[in-house]
């Protein structure tokens, strides 16, 4: 059985360690945890590992956030993975900093990456792990906030939460989304 973990973010040094790139940060941590290395491939950096007898493909799209659907669709097809066996890891303004929530469907809200995936796939019923980045910004400054670097306090929170995110992803692979949501979403 094969799983595709799609970790959203933007490529380039100017976006490293920004709130919008928490998906890339978790993807890097997951790959390191599984002993996998990324290499550049079509539309994404790609890593592959084995976990409990399953093949795990982790991608970090190189299409930039607003065109994430192109990379997601390509790798679903390329790897022959069902949408149910894929998980999108994404930042979320609607959750407090460091809060983790798994969902199996939903709108993209104000997230351009999710909205592009929904547009490209023509559906919104794909599993996702939402990573809270909070919304501590003045009206009209959302872009500056999501593309801004973590504060020291935020860094401390995420350093503690990244292992939990990896645990949730592994649970998704082993037990599926429903069991994972029941086990982790209210903690």
Give the residue numbers marked as catalytic: 20
Which of 129, 127, 128, 131 shows the shortest CA–CA distance to 161?
131
- Distance, in Å, from the CA atom of 9 to the CA atom of 77, rounded to the nearest integer, reads 21
Pairing of strands 2-7, 86-92: parallel
Which of 130, 123, 124, 121 shows the shortest CA–CA distance to 161?
130
- Distance, in Å, from the CA atom of 132 to the CA atom of 96, rounded to the nearest integer, reads 5
């Amino acid at each position: 059985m094969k799983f595709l973990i799609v970790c959203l973010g933007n490529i380039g040094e100017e976006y490293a360690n920004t709130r919008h790139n928490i998906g890339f940060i978790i993807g890097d941590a997951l790959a390191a945890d599984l002993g996998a290395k990324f290499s550049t491939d079509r539309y994404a950096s790609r890593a592959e590992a084995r976990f409990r007898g399953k093949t795990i493909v982790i991608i970090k799209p190189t299409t930039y956030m607003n065109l994430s659907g192109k990379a997601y669709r390509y790798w679903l097809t390329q790897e022959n993975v069902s949408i149910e066996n894929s998980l999108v890891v994404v930042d979320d303004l609607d959750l407090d900093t460091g809060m983790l929530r798994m969902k199996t469907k939903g709108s993209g809200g104000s997230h351009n990456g999710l909205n592009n995936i929904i547009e490209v796939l023509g559906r919104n019923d794909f599993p996702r792990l939402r990573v809270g980045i909070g919304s501590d910004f003045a009206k009209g400054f959302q872009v500056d906030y999501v593309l801004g670097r973590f504060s020291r306090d935020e860094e401390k929170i995420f350093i503690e939460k990244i292992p939990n995110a990896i645990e949730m992803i592994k649970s998704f692979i082993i037990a599926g989304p429903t069991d994972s949501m029941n086990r982790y979403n209210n903690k």
